[in-house]
Amino acid sequence: MLDIHCSNMEREFGQLRSRLMALDRCGITVSGIAIALFAIGSAYADSSSLQAQAKAADATRYSFIVGKGAEIKATGDNMAFTLWWQPSTWSPASGVIVALHGHDSYATTEAALWQPYAEKYGFALLTLQWWFGAGETTSDYYRPEQIYLLVSNLLVSKNVKVGSVFFTGFSRGSANSYAVAALDHAAANRNHFALVLSNAGGAASDYPPNQQISAGSFGSQPFAGMKWAMYCGEKDPDPDIGGCPAMLKSSTWVKGLGASMQLFIDDPIGNHGGFMTNPSNVTQVMELYRQVLADLIAATPTTAVVTAKEANCFFDWAEDHYPALLAPARPVSESATPYYYRRYGYTQTALGISALNQHLYFLDADKHLNDIGAGTSWLATSGCR
């Protein structure tokens, strides 16, 4: 029965990867697929009872993170929940920590551990309750493709800057981090992760998603250009699962598939959970992430940000050149970070541009949103840049 389950899971993972990549090429959202996927999962979990269970299991940390103003919401399938926290000074380009808890654990507990560091460094924090509250089989947890869709859609809803996210998993969360990272690398229109930390959970060679990666389903270099960090504790009771032998093997594996290992923490006195219990470990990774973000900002051309003046200039030009699509001309310009846009009452259309990625978006009369692509050449053609 286990072989049948793994075979089915491997097939579903491969099919989802292909569908996700196809949708990304077309610029289509994936929320509908996410809803369909969630129906495959466990039937006994629900968000409210799972939140109550999380509170009962660790009331101190639950109360701590709720007291910090965390936003807890049911997932679309109502099987679990997400937690989002952000400092008052946060902006979509400031950085986000996305953390997966370990086995038999909770998103609220994981968030409480990371929140002090997120607050110190000015990062937002997203945790996902990906265990359904009972059981230890793969069906008792969200699968990597489900995890990625939930995380990605929430990041998009928060307008988080592409390529600016720190993604990490602990223990069982770490064991799934490799597949989630591969999905992010394959998602051409997203690519959220700037840095990945696999914390005390190796890449099991018999796990179907990892087998898919090794078999080349994501290409020969599925982690090409991805920055990685890892932690292991020499006192880990299961060295070949989450200890240093497992993590060293995993490091070799991801590097062979294109990853760049930025930091490997081998804690001589650390146990399985030693990463978080030793503040110097966390600080090393936070400083690394801060530097990665700084490098991204330094590498971003100043022309990458569209100004309101440029957007309005382009809208005027487009209205003059495409009156059949954009009428009446010169409606009021509107904005919703990071977008500038205009709505056209007669043609029942809208035209917008992202201030961050410079992509143009056209909403047609049938309410289909079309990503026209990079607007750099259009801004030049129109004489607006």
Return the bridge partners of 82, or none.
73, 128
Q: Is the pTM of this model over 0.85?
A: no
Q: What would the two tokens of residue 144 be?
A: 């990597």
Q: What is the C-alpha to C-alpha distance for residues 213 and 1, in angstroms, rounded to an integer?
A: 23
Mapping DSSP onto H, E and C, the string for 46-108 reads CHHHHHHHHHHHCHHHHHHHHHCCCEEEECCCCCCEEEEECCCCCCCCCCEEEEECCCCCCHH
Determine the Cα–Cα distance for residues 185 and 169; give it in Å rounded to an integer: 17
Give the per-residue pLDDT at 304.
57
Q: Cα–chain-centroid distance for residue 108?
A: 18
Q: Output the pLDDT for position 164.
A: 95
Q: How far apart are CA 8 and CA 14, in angstroms?
A: 10
Enumerate the β-bridge partners of residue 195: 166
The CATH number of domain 303-381 is 3.30.1120: yes
**Phi/psi of residue 158, nearest 5 degrees:** -95, 5
For 2-299, give the CATH class.
alpha beta
- pLDDT one digit per residue (tens) for the chain, 385 residues: 333 334 444 444 454 444 444 434 433 344 444 434 443 444 457 999 999 999 999 999 999 999 999 999 999 999 999 999 999 999 888 999 999 999 999 999 999 999 999 999 999 999 999 999 999 999 999 999 999 999 999 999 998 988 999 999 999 999 999 999 999 999 977 899 999 999 999 999 999 999 999 999 999 999 999 999 999 999 999 999 999 999 999 999 999 999 999 999 999 999 999 999 999 999 999 999 999 999 987 776 555 588 899 999 999 999 999 999 999 999 999 998 888 999 999 999 999 998 877 889 899 998 888 878 777 778 888 888 8
Is residue 98 exposed (0-12), middle (13-18) or buried (19+ Cβ within 10 Å)? buried
8 A C-beta contact, residue 212 and residue 218: yes
Q: What is the C-alpha separation between 168 and 228, in angstroms, rounded? A: 10
CB 229 within 8 Å of CB 264: yes
Nearest-angstrom CA–CA distance, 1 and 214: 24
At residue 359, φ and ψ (nearest 5 deg) are: -75, 145
Most distant CA atoms of the chain, gap in Å: 70
Q: What is the pLDDT of residue 300?
A: 64
Domain range list for the chain:
2-299, 303-381
* Helix and strand numbers, DSSP H then E, in the chain: 13, 13
Residue 31 amino acid letter: S
